[in-house]
Chains A and B, each alone.
Chain A
Amino acid sequence: MSAPVLRVRNLRKTHSDGTEALRGIDLELGGGMYGLLGPNGAGKTTLLSILVLALEPTAGELLYRSPDRDLDASRLADRSTIRALLGYLPQDFRPLALLSGREYLEHCASLRQPSEPRSARRARASDLLRSVGLEGAAERPAGKYSGGMMRRLGLAQALIHRPRLLIVDEPTAGLDPEERMRFRNLVAEVAEHTSVILSTHIVEDVEATCPRLGVLWNGRLHFDGSPADLLRRATGKLWRLPEQAPLPPGAETLGMRAAVLGHERLVRAEQAPERGTAHTPHLEDAYAALLSELGGAAAIHSILEATSDASVASSSA
């Protein structure tokens, strides 16, 4: 792993209503792309909000590495520099609707790099518009962009000041498959020279782009490693079972799948169930197995919901 850009120690957050959103996160990030997986309510957005300094943690340490020194988010004097290191594409990103894409990018550039000459800011905006494929729509009001175009513009604004760490929150939710793939590729290109945290509940996005991922569940980071490590954890524990076959004790259904003859269940069990066939897991299966292991039915329910979201997006496209 290259030199870390971010170090998180025992990060905790308890909301004012008493909900414990984060229960002690430890994380160290270097270059490249890091996928943050977790079902809805796992604490992803809370973690990202703390990382971009929009939310104060209840406890813990948050350090960023600038080219020359460590920056502590709890130190007031460092926060401005930290903000300059960060690029952020929030889940609900919307540009100023009445500005064109180019105007919006230039406005963002002026906010983030006020000392840069206007010509340089313009050139940077043009480059980014080209990179994200919005060159042809640059003069159109940003409010009239499609969802995918808006995300791409969001990515461009997050990169306008050449951040060291790009944080992207659920960027492909609601996008059609073509747009999802396009966006994934864009982010992957960025990750070649910038550290990226990709927060999502769509496993496919992580699988396609992230050499390292973390799984967040119930405010804790339960897994931090490569996709291969996650797959290894699930190997030998997943079985396909005909729909009518009885579920052995201790086994949990992860989902239903179409089979040659009707449907079959994907189950997690330590021992091979009767009539069960060993299943070679994909990353999504491994992720589901992990969540099942962690949270049982509730976790399975969450992941089923998330999977159906992605399926709906695919089918509607």
Chain B
Amino acid sequence: MKSWLEFLRAEVLVHLRSLRGRVAIAAYLAIACTPAILAGRAQGGDLLLGGSTYAAEVLTFLPLLSAALAITLGLDAIVRERRSGSWSVLTLTSMSSAGYLLRRWSALLALLLPLSALPLAVAAASASLNGAARGPLGNFVWPWLLFVVPAVVGASALAVGAGTIADGIVPAAILVALLATLAPTLVNSVLFVTRRHVTLDASASLGTLAAIERTGRYQYALMPHPFSPGRLALPASESPQPPAQIAAAAISASALALAGCLAVLTTSTAFLRRSARDLPPWKPRADHPLRTLLALAARLRPRYAPDPRLERADRLLLACGPLLLLATFGAFWWRDAHYRSRMEAEHALEVSGWPAPTPTAASPIAARVALTLVSTLASNASLRSVGEITFRNDGTAPLSHLAFTLNSAVDIEWLHSDHGTATVERRLERVSVNLQPALAPRASVILAAELCGWPETIDFALPNGPRWTFERRLRAYRGASQSSDLTDLARSRTVPAASGQRVDLGWSDVFLLPRFTSWHLVRADGFAGGEIDVLPEEGSAPFTDLALSSNSPPELFVADACGGAGRARLDSACRMPLRDWRLAGAPLVPLDGAPVVFAVLPQHRAAAERLADDLSGLADLRRAAWPALDASAIAPVLLEDSPPWSGDPRQAMGRWWDDEYFEDVPRSAGRLFLVPERWVVSGRRLPAAEVVTDSVVSALLGRRPLDPHDRPVIAGLLRDVVKRRLGHGPAGGATLGGRPIEISNYQFSLLDSGFSELLNWPARLAAVTGELVARAGDGAVAAGFEAFLQGSADAGRKPGTLAELIDAIGKARGDDLSSFARDAFSTGALPELGFDDVHSARAGRGFVVTGRVANHGTGEARCPIAVTTEGGIVEARVIVPEQGEARFTVPTSAQPQSVLLDPDLTCFRWRGQWVERVDFEGFQ
């Protein structure tokens, strides 16, 4: 220890006195601290930054900069000693080569590590000076510990090792370059035989691309730019970061590279060359064609020959390198094998289609669960749930089989049935329960169970592409024709559904979720014309009376889709599809005095208080949205939602990299609304209309089961109706428009759309809703919905259909809307109208405007036309058949000025290049 301290003292003195060292350290500190200063300049205005943002800005560059500094100082330290001539004296010390190298390296580390922490200290100071909320200490410490420290350790080991072996800066640089490029290629070429791939990309581990990207953003931020304003600081999450998950990601991303660097260091023990080897003479033949090269090699040979007299400690350290590499590689192999077998098992299960789904006749009429969440690790939480689910056989045949989805990491401790015997069979997340004897029609069965586990999902590190499913990704992996096409499966990761930082649980994470849709893969359109096999999502969502009582760690504030919210204890009950239920939470605090529950991170209390007006407005909006609903029954619960840990090392810094993140809308489930953290800090208004719309729609749809096929359209229709009531209809009213060539993008059936129509589906539905409301009137539409959703009492449990809804609205209006519904929903009809041959003439004491409206599109159109006169507006209505025309004659008492087609955009149609306005002479 004493000699180590002397090493450290000498190391510090040498570097601080050397011009090279001083310049390198000063440049490092200046560059590394700059982001913290810039973040201070970004503070204020609408953006309320927290301390974590300052840390994140600095941490973007810190691994890369620290590695560069470590390499600079490490090489400088070794080469200076060799070149200065002091080495021959140092070789005479009685300590072993291993002892010398390790002392030397660790002394360098002891200098570098505090230096690498200094920019974070500056970030904390800058945050404090600029009044930023103090972020969790872990957001400074963990990324530093798990990304910066390994970078420094690896880079310094590589520099000292390569410097020792190569005995000079240029040869060391060549050696490092060879190791960085050839070694990964070679390793992966060999591994490809076993269809494996390792990631040895040091550049990615150091976040090189992220640093370059951020530098580009600074350029935008510092120089006024008309298109991309840029930001001097991108707000980072103040949510505490999960250390175990960061560690897992960091280890899987850089453990092999780090072990490689350490192996270079340990190997260099043999190349410290305190004793020069006695090499037998080696003289190339005078007539050898490569004699010049061989002579050069012979001359260099003594310089690079390993030390022949390694002591026991040296040999021990020398062996440590390969052992470490072997152990790390073993860990890689084990992780790869683990995820590989899991992946194969999941795929086998996916293609098997096992088991048969629960028959739709089995109605889950009630479910109650007592849930206990235990946060035993900062990054993970276990749960134990005891509950029961009641099924009633609404069919006509006996029911003997039920199928469920259950998080594969949650075990079934026991499962009993109150009706004979329930036999459970399970494969991963699929559970099959066979009832013996079978359940008779109209009879009920209660399945009670106790479950426990650590709910999580696995994110396989497979090749990815746009809209690729698991099956498609696996196909790409299996079909890899060269090493670079493979991915490093060992970098797969598990994402906990509940932790001390974040809880996001669905029903299948806490209890048995009935599965009504077949598990057989279906062929679907992929991106760019390809076909992919898709595992169908659960399409049936019967409503269930559910009750939940949960206990959770006191630091967590949790809320569920039923509207229950609380710290430590939560009791809630509601009627909703189990599929849509969620429980979310985090270390949040509810805002005092808010009209609805709004819980935020403590650091964001001030930022959230800026939204008080939005929260107050929620109650008024609820009344306006659907007066018939009890406001308290649909009161939303809002939780601030932090971004989940994605496993991307860049996100160790908790960064929101893309500006698009700022555009994300809140997620909702029932009455639970998850407001993105970025909304709160960036001063955006709460999406009150969205929140109210979702809570109203959720409450209304809970009244009656819907036909799975029609459900998306019915729910969308209801959502658009409510949004229009709140003044948030589309600017285009009921019309769609664009370049003529784009009309085909909107000509599809809303009820039977595919992947390619997903993008324009909401726009067409909104336009259709516009005409429906315009044609039937808002009152009739609301009355129609009320009558339709009330239908369950009259029609038993028969799921509601779209045709039934349209019929109800038509009845409320006293009109037949069936042809409109056929055109708008079932076919891809889209009328395209234009005036033709329009004239105005005097007729007796008044005037008459005549003309034609031609339909160049598809489907029947019923649109208003308006004639403006000196005395006011005269309206008329035309019905234009598909590919036909309608003549109109509008008498006016005053002189006509112009005639307009659908001036209020209430008619469902495409606005193309056709004439929609005619101005009469003298009035243009």
Contact = CB atoms under 8 A, between A and B. Distances in A.
A201 interface: no
Given A56-B309, A99-B10, A118-B2, A83 B92 contact: yes
Contact of B89 (A14, A79, A103, A157): A157
Interface stretch (B93-101, B511-519, B527-535): B93-101
Contacts of B758: none
Contacts of A53: 92, 274-275, 309
A76 B2 CA distance: 26
B88 A93 contact: yes
A250 B604 CA distance: 104
B287 interface: no
Interface stretch (A30-38, A108-116, A174-182, A225-233): A108-116
Interface in B276-323: 276-283, 298-299, 301-302, 308-312
B354 to A, nearest CB: 65
B186 interface: no
B194 interface: no
A90 B91 CA distance: 11
Contacts of B85: 90, 92-94
B90 interface: yes
B88 A90 contact: yes
A79 B309 CA distance: 9
Contacts of A80: 94-96, 311
A106 B6 contact: yes
Given A15-B281, A88-B92, A111-B93, A96 B309 contact: no
Contact of B281 (A18, A54, A111, A154): A18
A110 B13 contact: no
Given A58-B278, A86-B92, A111-B3, A141 B17 contact: yes
A16 B298 contact: yes
Contacts of B276: 49, 54-56
A96 B308 contact: no
A84 B276 CA distance: 19
A273 interface: no
Interface string A72-111: 0000100111011011101011111111000100111011
B418 interface: no
Contacts of B88: 54, 88, 90, 92-93
Contacts of A286: none
A185 to B, nearest CB: 23
B94 A16 contact: no
Nearest to A16: B279
Contact of B92 (A52, A98, A99): A52
A111 B81 CA distance: 14
A219 interface: no
Interface residues of B, number: 44
A158 B3 CA distance: 18
Contacts of A55: 275-276, 278
B327 interface: no
Contact of B274 (A54, A84, A115, A118): A54
A281 interface: no
Contacts of B7: 110
A277 B188 CA distance: 84
B174 interface: no
B18 interface: yes
Given A54-B275, A83-B92, A157-B89, A17 B2 contact: no
A84 B86 contact: no
A13 interface: yes
A83 B95 CA distance: 9
Given A76-B309, A88-B92, A94-B84, A57 B13 contact: no
Given A76-B309, A96-B86, A107-B10, A83 B94 contact: yes
B14 interface: yes
B281 A108 contact: no
Nearest to B84: A94
Contacts of B274: 53-54
A80 B94 CA distance: 5
Nearest to A79: B309
B284 to A, nearest CB: 11
Nearest to A49: B276
Interface string B52-94: 0000000000000000000000000000110011101111111
A88 B283 contact: no
Nearest to B311: A76
B18 A56 contact: no
Interface residues of A, number: 46
Interface string B1-29: 01100110110011001100000000000
Contact of A84 (B3, B9, B94): B94
A139 to B, nearest CB: 13
B319 to A, nearest CB: 16
Nearest to A59: B278
Contacts of B282: 16-17
A273 B311 CA distance: 61
A56 B278 CA distance: 5
A187 B276 CA distance: 28
Given A17-B298, A103-B10, A56 B89 contact: no
Contacts of B81: 96
B283 A18 contact: yes
Contact of A17 (B90, B96, B281, B309): B281
Contacts of B89: 88, 90, 93, 108, 154, 157-158
Given A80-B94, A114-B2, A57 B275 contact: no
Contacts of A115: 2
B271 to A, nearest CB: 15
Most chain A Cβ neighbours within 10 Å, of B6, B91, B309, B310: B6
A95 B10 CA distance: 12
Contacts of A16: 279-282, 298, 301-302
A96 to B, nearest CB: 5
Nearest to B14: A98
A17 B9 CA distance: 42
A106 B81 CA distance: 16
B89 to A, nearest CB: 6
A137 B136 CA distance: 52
Most chain B Cβ neighbours within 10 Å, of A96, A106, A108: A96
B94 A110 contact: no
Contact of A98 (B13, B96, B310): B13
A15 B14 CA distance: 36
Contacts of B308: 56
B890 to A, nearest CB: 98
A57 B278 CA distance: 6
Interface in A41-82: 49, 52-58, 76, 79-81
A49 B85 CA distance: 15
B94 A81 contact: yes
A142 to B, nearest CB: 9
B394 to A, nearest CB: 85
A218 to B, nearest CB: 18
Nearest to A84: B94
Most chain B Cβ neighbours within 10 Å, of A56, A86, A87, A106: A56
Given A53-B309, A94-B84, A114 B3 contact: yes
A49 B311 CA distance: 19
A14 B96 contact: no
Contacts of B17: 98, 141
Contact of B275 (A56, A96, A110, A114): A56
A267 B81 CA distance: 48
- Those 7 A-B pairs whose CB atoms lie nearest each other, nearest first: A110-B6, A94-B85, A114-B3, A16-B279, A18-B281, A56-B278, A98-B17
22 contacts: A15-B302, A16-B279, A16-B281, A16-B301, A53-B92, A56-B276, A76-B312, A81-B94, A83-B93, A83-B94, A86-B92, A90-B89, A93-B85, A95-B84, A95-B86, A96-B10, A96-B81, A110-B3, A111-B90, A112-B93, A112-B94, A118-B2
Given A98-B14, A98-B17, A141-B17, 10 more contacts: A16-B281, A16-B282, A54-B275, A79-B309, A83-B94, A87-B92, A90-B88, A92-B88, A93-B89, A157-B89
